[in-house]
Amino acid sequence: MLLGDLGAEVTRVERPVEAEVIPGVTSESDVLLRGRTVVRADLKVPAERDRVLDLIAGADVLVEGYRPGAAERMGLGPEDCAARNPGLVYARMTGWGQSGPRAHTAGHDINYIALTGVLDNIGPAGGDPIPPLNLVGDFGGGSMFLVVGVLAALHERTRTGRGGVVDGAIVDGVGALAQMQWSMRGQGRWSTGRGNNVLDGSAPFYRTYRCADGAHVAVGCIESRFFRTMLDGLGIDPGSLPPQWDRPRWPEIASALETAFAAAPREHWAELFRDTDACVTPVLTYDEALGDEHLVARGAFVRTPVDAAAPAPRFA
């Protein structure tokens, strides 16, 4: 989808009949499949495999997501494809990578972010780790890094004329995605697990608060001047609170903010802080996000034919 949104002509090769179908899911409603042509082929049949090789011969990029060695056994590995197309960028997407003890075992997003230490940092202090949907592993550490590798390989090809193999492993991408936390850990500014960290919901100035109507606002005023702007809006005297960065007393600050936000409904706070630098925003549902004035003005969502995110990034 990302490559197609950027203007690539994408052909998706599917089995003649998909073995596992999710009830209620159609190609029209699955917006991840937008912008591509579908070719059906049984890759275990030599004639149909050769038909796909003919497509590969004229392609710039091949993306495959089999377990290591599966494409080679079908005669569609990097060497097979390079023989037909020396300039091909062969992009391999797996969870564990092409090598290592787990390379041939199954896994999902939650497993990859668990093994890399990331999941242990997501969730309430004293509670259980909570999977952040499948955004961090599948799409953040997986797809995004694979696309970066593909674009870099295409750029390299303009200089050498040769293609290459991109080994995209979700565990590798997740590790790089969490580099800021690794850096803070190395500086002694990140605690193991959940609690007492700036970005994990422990800091009173970087978390969500429940409002009088049961809805929530998100607070992200890390910088001191933004923190003061938030306190001004809430009518709280800064002198009545501990210093912003006095970590042992963060619960006191959080308690004061909880009381303040609980005194009015979400929309009151959304309107109060709308044009300020307090870094306070309403926590919207997907339905509400479709009508947000900023996102509407940006054209952040499209109807194709169901609601979906618009292509990103944009080019001027």
Active site residues: 108, 138
For residue 87, give the nearest of 52, 127, 123, 57 by alpha carbon. 57
CA 158 to chain centre: 29
Q: How far apart are CA 263 and CA 260, in angstroms?
A: 6
Residue 196: CB atoms within 10 Å: 15
Rounded to whole angstroms, the Cα distance separating 95 from 151 reads 20
Cα 167–chain centre separation: 19
Rounded Cα gap, residues 223 and 205, in angstroms: 9
What are the tokens at 219?
């607070």
Beta bridge partners of 208: 218
